[in-house]
Structures are given as C-alpha cells and as structure tokens.
Structure 1
C-alpha cells in the first residue's frame, strides 16, 4: 500500500534484510530506503559492521513499532579465534597473541560453556555504541580513552558448541537483548586461559524470525529490476513483528476514538498489557495499552 509523495513513497511494512558484513546498519538502512523510494525508514537494533545477518527494517508507519522489537531475543552463529586477543574484540582491531591453546579441546570448551548459560554479568566493550555523557564509547576508544563500565546482567538462553578446527571455535548462541557476543567470546577465551576474539558473526534469528526468511541487498536490486511490485510484495505487516501481543478488534466508533487519541473501554485485559489494535476493516492501526480503569489508550497509532 503506497501513495506518491515528492519526498518518497508512503509505503508501510517491514523488510527482513540479510545485511552483508562490512556495512554499517545505518548504511544498509539508507540503501534499502533509497531502493524502495520510501519516505521514512528505521531499523530495530543495529548490527556491528563486521556482523552479517538478520536486520529488520521498518518502512513508513511500521517505524512506530520498532521500539517494541528492541527487547526481542536474538540468535547468532559466531566463529572465534582462540589464542589471540583484539582491542576491539573482533578481527577489525589490533590482534596480539595471548595464550597457548595446547590444552584446549572440545571437552574443555564444553565444560567452560556451562558457566556461560543462564544469567551472566557482562562488562560492555569500549568498542560499543553505549554512550558516556552523550559520547559513544567507541569514539572514546578510538582516541585511546578507556572509561569504567559497570557489569550488567544478560541472559544466555542457549550456547551450543558447533566445531573446533585449528583454534577456530564455532558456537551458536541464543540470548537476550544487550548481549555482546564479542565480549562473550573474549570471556570464554579468558576462561580457557588462551584468550579469543570474534572473526565471524552472523545474526541468524531475531524474535520469531529466522535468517532463511531474510533477503540480501543484491537480490532486492534484482527484484526491483523486474518490478516495484515484486519488491513491495516482500514487506511484512508491522503487526507480524509482534506475535506475542494480543489483538483487539475495534468497531468504527472505537477506531475513531483511538485515532483521535481518546481512550476506549475494554474489559478482560491485564493492567499495563500492550495490545495490537485493528480497525473495523481488520486493518492494523497501532498499539494500545490497558490501564487500571479497563480503558485502552493509544500508545502508538498509525494515522
């Protein structure tokens, strides 16, 4: 569904992009926005330039749901080089030899991985987008400035050993938001006594989506050459990004109230519960929240 606009098309939906390694999430976002000629776009949680994989990109009104996706769990495939450490935690940094890997074998790794399952504390890396007094840490790190970072809890739902070949350790990790896989690989290397850093990182899952559903930028270009419709047909509805939220069908009067920022009475919902709202034509129009008076108020509404 799109309308023409001199600033780009009013097109709404979510694209599951398979971002290539070597591109920042923002440059990938701008490329997709240009390709779709969309007037508005946003992504949901960036990937390091080194990392490839699943990056949901929201176009138009769908950008309003992006904030509700940031808390979603992620899945990664990661390869780490043992015996060496890097100042950035990955192969983009200065790499130095650290410790011997002679004693490191599959069993030793599996024993160590047990310590990294469940809730763990992580110190965020200096090379991260976290801000200190408004300045991203990576900007300070580039100037050689290191600041104290507090450890914070993250959840590793599952960590699977995949392979060990010539000091290259492959793992699959399912984790909560805010988990730094570079830090995880460094900490595993530290526990093994040999050090380690990430050489390949791929996001293979985001909430309920899988990398198999994503499309590369090269394939997008090929589709656009066929027709704009082929491209638009790839877009998911914004509500498909929120499978865990209950849906609520409104009548015409309630739809009007919600669109004008007014609350509507609805019983049988939990206080503080977020709800997907559908108008009388069963079109998704946004997200509401229930209050203590059994009123649903509009939190994010498409207009």
Structure 2
C-alpha cells in the first residue's frame, strides 16, 4: 500500500471490484465514503468483470497514465459454441454452433496462435470513440461503428482446464487488450464461436488482487 495506513487522501490503493459494478461506481462510492476530493482509477473493468481496480487519490492521480501502461493478468472462462454481440453476457446469444468435434488439443493449439504481438479490433460494445461517439452507445442504437485494429501483446494465454463447452484460462497481456475480443476470436479460430463467460483481473504490474481491499473492508459494511 502507498500512503499512511488508513489515510487514503494521497494514495494508490487496490480494491476488488464486485460483479455488476462499473469502475466509476467504485470510484464514486469510495470518493463519498472516504470523503476524498480528488480520486480516479487506473484501468477500467467491465461491469461483468471482477477483480483488481487501482485507485489513485490526491497527487497520486498523476501516476494514473503510467499505471494504466502496466501489463495485466486475468483469469476467466470462455464458452464456445455460442456468440453474443457484446462478446460477453451483456447481450443475448445470436448464434449457436455444435462443438462436439472440438478437442482439448484443438483448443490449446488455437490459443497458442494468439501469443505475441497482435492487431486487435475492440468490441463494438466498448467505450472506444468513433467520430466522437462511444462505440457502445452507437451499437445500442443499432448504428454501425467501424473500429480500427489496435496493437497489443499477449504475453501468455494458458488454458488451465477444459470441460467443453467451458474453457478456463489465464492471460498476461499489454495495456488495451480486450479479453472479450480474445474470447470471441478464439471461438472464431475454432470455427464454432465463443464468448466470455466470466473474468477476473488478478494483477496489474506488481499490484496483486490478493492484497486488495473489499469495498466492505474499505468503507465498512455499508458498501452499497
């Protein structure tokens, strides 16, 4: 932890973001709960993701950009044989394919093809701006949002266990990587589609989820 114990007005501290909360929800709750005037987060997590959120307050907010640039570690589950427009469970399923012919060897071989530098297209349901508009807002209105590929690096894409259609994985990646897109692209590579079923960010640089506060621990029992 940075900053004096119990003093979060000038600090970098870690929070375990609950399922269903936006990153801004957490910042807002902590701002009012701890009465911190200046606070922000270093790296957005989707509402359906859980895990490590770095908060910076006071003068430590100047470090947000450098913290955002750190590599990240995620664990989660990909389900193959189905897809959704948002590439996770935010939107309904829009395709269904048989995965009976898929083997563990095929999954691991496909995952290996994503390791290294890649050009990745962000999901249409993302906060990326297209002509000044957020892509997800355009997608929800049925407008076409053409997103440009971005340079990212997947340092490691380990398949931890397979119980098809579910695949449990661990990813170590660079800033700007969308794990939803990686899940979708893995499904595409296998020819059956796929979506991100669950995601937890466990590490940002040397900051680890194991050392993070829960909102209850940080603010008391009234975390809502």
The TM-score with structure 1 as length reference comes to: 0.69
Counterpart Cα distance in 2 of 1:103 and 1:207: 38
**Of 15, 18, 37, which residue of structure 2 is paired with 1:17?**
15
Moved runs in structure 1, 4+ residues, more than 6 A? none
1:210 is aligned to 2:208: yes
Q: How does 1:142-221 map to 2 (within 5 A)?
A: 142-221=140-219
Residues 188-221 of structure 1: per-residue CA shift (max 9 Å, x gap)? 0011111000110110110111111111112223
Which runs of 5 or more structure 2 residues have no equivalent in the other structure? none
Contact between 1:33 and 1:59, CA under 8 Å: does it hold in 2? no
Question: In structure 2, what is the equivalent of residue 98 of structure 1?
Answer: 96
2:136 aligned to 135, 138, 155, which one? 138
User: Could you say which structure has the larger radius of gyration?
Assistant: 1
**1:262-292 CA distance string (max 9 Å, x none):** xxxxxxxxxxxxxxxxxxxxxxxxxxxxxxx
RMSD, aligned CA: 1.8
Aligned residues between the structures: 218
**1: distance between equivalents of 2:84 and 2:215?**
30
More relative contact order in 1 or in 2 (CA 8 Å, sep 6+)?
A: 2
TM-score (norm 2): 0.92
2:105 matches 1:107: yes
Report the secondary structure of 1:116's partner residue. Answer: coil
Residue 125 of structure 1: SS of its match in structure 2?
coil
SS at match of 1:190: helix
Matched, 1:69 2:67: yes
Equivalent position SS for 2:201: strand
Q: Is the 8 A contact 2:81 2:96 kept in 1?
A: yes
